[in-house]
Amino acid sequence: MNTIFEEKKETMHVGHNIKRIREIQGIKQEALGLLCKSRYSQQRISDFENMVAFDEPLLKELADALGVTPDFVKSFKDENVIYNIQNNQDNSTNNQQYNHPNIHNDGSDKLLALLEKFIEEDRIKTQSIAALSKAVLDLASEVKKLKEDRNS
C-alpha cells in the first residue's frame, strides 16, 4: 500500500509534538518534568505542551529528557508514524520467506534507546515502590506497637 502524504502549510506545533512523543513513551507530565535538568512541575510541562514554539535551550532540555533530538521533536508527525507502521507491516508480510522483519535504520536505534530508557526507569520506579511499601509496613507496625504500649 503506497500512500503519499502532502506537506501541510501550517505552523508546526512543537508543544504538541512534545506531548505526543511523551504519550507514546508512556511518560506522565510530572515524570517528564522530573527528567528535565530544571525539574519542571506538571503544570509547567502542560504549559509547554500548549506552546507553539520554543527557544533552543528549552527544546533541547525537553528533547534530552525524552531521549530524542530537538530535530526529531521538530519533525515529528503522527501521520508519518502511522505510515511507517503500515509500511513495516506490509514489508514484513512480503519478507516472511526470509523469516525476519524488514528493519530500516531510520530511527530504530533511537526507538531502541527510548525503550531501554523506559525499561530502566520502570525498574527504578518499581524498586522505589517496593522500598516505600516496606517503609509503610514498618511504620504501620511501629504505630501498632505504640498503640499497644499506650493501651497497656
The tens-digit pLDDT sequence of the chain (152 residues) is 444 444 444 457 899 999 998 988 889 999 999 999 989 999 999 999 999 888 999 999 999 999 999 988 888 887 766 666 667 654 444 444 434 344 444 567 778 888 888 888 888 888 888 888 888 888 888 888 888 888 87
Residue at 39: amino acid letter: R
Please say whether the beta carbons of 18 and 49 come within 8 A. yes
- pLDDT at position 89 is 57
pLDDT at position 97:
41
Domain that holds residue 31: 1-104
How many angstroms separate the CA atoms of 74 and 20, rounded? 12
Q: Which helix (H) or strand (E) element contains residue 96?
A: none
Q: Are residues 123 and 60 part of one domain?
A: no
**What is the C-alpha separation between 130 and 56, in angstroms, rounded?**
38
**CATH number of residue 14's parent domain:** 1.10.260.40
Query: Are residue 94 and residue 122 in the same domain, yes or no?
Result: no
Is residue 72 within 8 Å of 82, Cβ to Cβ? no
Rounded to whole angstroms, how far apart are CA atoms 98 and 49? 43
In degrees rounded to 5, what are phi and psi of residue 100? -155, 150
Residues 93 and 115 in one domain: no
What percent of the chain is helix, strand and coil (3-state, nearest 5)?
A: 70, 0, 30
How far from chain centre, in Å, is Cα 53? 20
Residue 57: per-residue pLDDT: 92
**Which H or E run contains 66?**
helix 56-66
13 with 67, same domain: the answer is yes
* Residue 21 near residue 68, CB atoms below 8 Å: yes
Note the pLDDT of residue 80. 67
What count of other Cβ atoms lies within 10 Å of the Cβ of residue 21? 21
The reply to whether 17 and 73 lie within a common domain is yes
pLDDT for res 49: 92
The answer on 100 and 147 residing in a single domain is no
